[in-house]
Amino acid sequence: MGSRTEITDKPQSIHPLSRATTYIESYFFDPLSGEQRLRTYATGFFVRASTAILLVTNWHVMSGLDPSQPSMLGKTPPPHFLKIFVPTVSGGLSSLSLPLYDAEMAPRWEEHPDREAVDMAIFPLPLSLEQHFHFFDVPTAAGAHEIEEAVAKDVFVLGYPFSQDELRKSFGDGAPFFLPVWKRGSIATEPATRFNDRVILIDALSRPGMSGAPVLVAQDEPVLQSTSARNAEVFDAINRGGGNALEVLSRLDTASLRSSTVKRFSLLGVYSGVIGNTRLEQIALGKCWHVDTLRELTANSCPGAMPFHAPVANRFYDALLSEVSGGRLVVKNLEGEVVRNDPI
């Protein structure tokens, strides 16, 4: 696939793809004290559908189980709920609590028809939440770029290898824990011959918190850049496609033009680390579930199923569920104080 030349004059401060990911924490309730105990942290990202905003992450993040051995219970109980951190329309940052089970303790997430055999899951969020929060979806942020999927091609895994507490201890309370780390790697296996027709291996060291991260295949493409106000008007005319192209180009201030390159991105899939195979970890390989499988999931999703070890209902979880399902949106700041209590 040949590269394309584009003209731009608008630098970005925070990359749109960084805004399209979300830091996730999973919690379970202590059945005696009611304490919300942090189980783990992970990564998710957003995809827009016609009727909902879809939070995408791994099945093992939602269920708390190893998909290769779902009957085995780990050291900590499966989570009752997730917290995701999203920007508010007023310019702040808030957390949303997402109960993972309904009143009958049936999972509220959706998954692939092949269940835990595909380590991906989606949690639909109502479009009405956009009145309060900004949701940046990965396909829009990546743009409609056609990038060839080829072995040795650069990829970036956008995730959270550190918890917010770890970052704050290292860099202070102002550490931007809600923005992802861009972990660079490469496609390690032939994309045309995916494992089980679904998985590509990525050559990249990672940590468990990267689970559920979007994997973006990357490519450098040439652009012309300029800080000239005159050229900004010309670029705008070119982008609109109006007028005679040669006449528009003749107005360019060529002395202020600079040739450069920018990275273009396309969603390759969903990262799930080395779950189920420690040999992959030994040689620094991770699993990337191809975007085609994500499309299968979103087009043919099934209600989630918890084959083993579903959390036990308790009055503390019931209270959280009634708060969320009662037709109101309760927004808390990072200190846990209620800042909004609105109908939805």
- Residue 327 pLDDT > 60: no
pLDDT tens-digit map of 198-229: 999 999 877 789 999 999 999 988 766 666 66
Would you say residue 29 lies in a domain? yes
**What is the residue range of 37's domain?**
6-223+261-343
Longest dimension (CA), the chain: 76
Count of structural domains, the chain: 1
pLDDT value of position 155 = 96
Q: What mean pLDDT is predicted for residues 102-119?
A: 94
- Residue 181 pLDDT > 60: yes
Q: Which residue has the higher pLDDT, 237 or 118?
A: 118
CA-wise closest residue to 61 among 6, 150, 233, 45: 45
CATH number of residue 293's parent domain: 2.40.10.10
Would you say residue 119 lies in a domain? yes
pLDDT value of position 303 = 96
CB 114 within 8 A of CB 62: no
pLDDT tens-digit map of 285-298: 899 999 999 999 99
pLDDT value of position 344 = 57
Q: Indicate the pTM of the whole model.
A: 0.84
Q: Which residue has the higher pLDDT, 242 or 118?
A: 118
Q: What share of the chain is helix, strand, coil (3-state, %, to 5)?
A: 25, 35, 40
Distance CA 174, CA 217 (A): 31
pLDDT band of residue 232 (cuts 50, 70, 90) is: low
Q: What mean pLDDT is predicted for residues 237-265?
A: 67
Would you say residue 239 lies in a domain? no
CB 78 within 8 A of CB 312: no
Average pLDDT taken over every residue of the chain: 85
Would you say residue 236 lies in a domain? no
pLDDT value of position 69 = 87
pLDDT value of position 9 = 42
pLDDT tens-digit map of 20-57: 999 999 999 988 888 999 999 999 999 999 899 999 99
pLDDT value of position 10 = 44
Would you say residue 255 lies in a domain? no
- Residue 144 pLDDT > 70: yes
- Residue 61 pLDDT > 80: yes
pLDDT value of position 37 = 93
CA-wise closest residue to 178 among 45, 336, 56: 45
Would you say residue 202 lies in a domain? yes
pLDDT band of residue 73 (cuts 50, 70, 90) is: confident
Would you say residue 126 lies in a domain? yes
- Residue 75 pLDDT > 90: no
Instruction: Give the sheet arrangement for strand 338-343, strand by strand.
Output: 302-303, 110-111, 121-126, 52-57, 36-48, 21-29, 81-87, 93-99, 328-332, 338-343
Would you say residue 83 lies in a domain? yes
The rounded Cα 304 to chain-centroid distance in angstroms is: 19
